[in-house]
Structure 1
Amino acid sequence: MEFKERTAAVQVQEYLEFLIHFKKVSELPSQREISEKLQVSRNAVKHALDRLKNEGQIQAKERTGIISNRKIDINMLGMDSMTTELKNKTVKIKHLATTIEKMPGRLKDFFNAPEGLVIKIARIRFVKDIPLTYEITYFNQTDFTRLANIDFTNKSLYEVLEKEYQIKPTYGRESICCFLADKKIGSLLQVKKGTPLYQVNSFNYQDDDFPIESTTQYLLGNKFKYHFNANNIYDYQED
């Protein structure tokens, strides 16, 4: 197998990503400082900065210089709501619609309901008027009838569940994949069709294996990152 050395531009990009995501630096060094530190040309620095800018990881501001756009870090194995995950952000939630629909085929086994209806709640989350996530949540209509009449603007679903039903999800499963924005979702998230997004499908339960809700989220790929911590991945087994 043949290995190729990293180009100067790649070295610069890796160095800047290290500063952004591990050192948590808000203001990056100047192009001259980067060039001198890494002993690379200014063209290599410019090329790396252009790539990071196109990926949404940095932005250039007058009188401020180059500043980082740190991604929102989500714990894959956590059971916190998205509202809790974003607790340090000024988040606004826009409730788009609540509808009663026929049980989707993919949710029949989850809700253990071959027939029946679901409550479908669609929402968008904003930070500083910039859309971050588009979310569609499904509840079994038989179990959560009152949710159909609630306006979820700037409300946490989990907090409403606790208040209305004294219930809270305690475990679940998730799948994460890449999704290219279609015309509808691109319009809602204010991005071009074909923009890379995370598509996160979650299925959440109470301790007694009672299925509570299933959510599909579309998140901007340049605004979020996912992580999980495991002490011994070799002993991991899925229940």
Structure 2
Amino acid sequence: MDVLEAKINKRIPIPLYYQLKELLREHIRNNEVGDPIPTEQQLCQHFGISRPTVRQAISGLVAEGYLQRSKGKGTFIAQPKINQDFLQVLESFNREMRDKGLTPATRVLAKETTVVDEDNISMHLKLPRGASVIYLRRLRFVNNSPLVLVNTFLPLDRLPNLNGHDLERESLYELIEHEHGLSIARAERTLEAVVGEEEDAQLLQIDPGSAVQYIETVTYLTDGSPIEFSQAWYRGDMARFTFELTKKRV
């Protein structure tokens, strides 16, 4: 249904902006990514409502990721954000994306043996400065669009055969477990909102200063020792994250 074929009921106690927002949501479901929605003026005239009311409805859908504004061009249906479950479930990136019906890909930007030279890496991997680690820098794609840039550090002494593998096609977690006989138990992740720096933004194909979700991960084996420390920068316009909370029982 086209939104300009719908009606708003001004007699019921439901805010006009909310009614319009839900009608626009239905319009989005029935149209394609990249299609424009009617202009603010068209919506005002059709529904007989004020411009601030129209803007409130549209702004809500922009904030939720359903619409995107293009200066001087209008407002368009946005590419749906990818819902990331990995704050709850520890799973490989490729498998999670395929389970969602998406096509993942990885480009390895760097793979080398180096030494621990930062306190942050030393602390999370419980290694002294100067210890040898494998450093990976990967750009990961979904449906040909860059989604996340990841720096990963792994203890070389626990993963001596890793450098010989093609990490554009093979799963890091599967190599840790199957190639090296180690068992991954859990991970700790922290999430914060940051802005994209110039080099990272260029790789992610976003404007410098755009919203980025920064996530640090420390992955642990069943013996309690850390096996991976990673830093990931997710495009804020493509990803969202799900949290599941349970009530603490006293």
TM-score band, normalised by shorter chain: 0.7 to 0.9
What is the aligned partner in structure 1 of residue 79 from structure 2?
69
Q: 1:152: Cα distance to partner?
A: 1.0
Instruction: Write out aligned runs for 1:1-239 (5 A).
Output: 11=18, 15=22, 19=25, 25=29, 27=31, 31=38, 40-41=49-50, 44-45=53-54, 48-49=57-58, 52=61, 57-58=66-67, 67-75=77-85, 76-87=87-98, 88-103=101-116, 104-115=118-129, 116-232=131-247, 234-235=248-249
Q: 1:45: Cα distance to partner?
A: 3.5
- For each residue in 1:137-180, what CA deviation from the matched residue of structure 2 results, as whole angstroms up to 9, or x when unmatched? 11011111211232211332112223311334221111000121
Paired residue total: 220
Q: Which runs of 5+ in 2 are unaligned?
A: 1-14, 70-74
1:224/1:26 CA distance change after superposition, 3 Å: farther
1:132/1:16 CA distance change after superposition, 3 Å: farther
Q: 1:40: Cα distance to partner?
A: 3.5
What is the aligned partner in structure 1 of residue 10 from structure 2?
none
- For each residue in 1:111-155, what CA deviation from the matched residue of structure 2 results, as whole angstroms up to 9, or x when unmatched? 222131211111111123211110111101111121123221133
Q: 1:197: Cα distance to partner?
A: 0.4
Q: Aligned partners of 1:44 and 1:114: how far apart in 2?
A: 59
Taking only aligned residues, the RMSD between alpha carbons, in angstroms, comes to 3.6
1:133/1:30 CA distance change after superposition, 3 Å: closer
Q: Bigger radius of gyration, 1 or 2? A: 2
Q: Aligned partners of 2:107 and 2:214: how far apart in 1?
A: 19
Question: Aligned partner of 1:212: which letter?
Answer: I
- For each residue in 1:174-216, what CA deviation from the matched residue of structure 2 results, as whole angstroms up to 9, or x when unmatched? 1000121111101111111101100000001112202111111
Q: Aligned partners of 1:159 and 1:26: how far apart in 2?
A: 40
Question: Aligned partner of 1:72: which letter?
Answer: I
Question: Aligned partner of 1:107: which letter?
Answer: I
User: Which deviates more, 216-225 or 103-112?
Assistant: 103-112
1:169/1:41 CA distance change after superposition, 3 Å: farther
Q: Aligned partners of 1:155 and 1:195: how far apart in 2?
A: 31
**TM-score when normalising by structure 2:** 0.73
User: Which deviates more, 220-229 or 73-82?
Assistant: 73-82
Question: Aligned partner of 1:177: which letter?
Answer: E
Q: 1:42: Cα distance to partner?
A: 6.6
Q: Aligned partners of 2:50 and 2:89: how far apart in 1?
A: 43
1:31/1:12 CA distance change after superposition, 3 Å: farther
**TM-score when normalising by structure 1:** 0.75
Q: Aligned partners of 1:202 and 1:89: how far apart in 2?
A: 23
What is the aligned partner in structure 1 of residue 3 from structure 2?
none
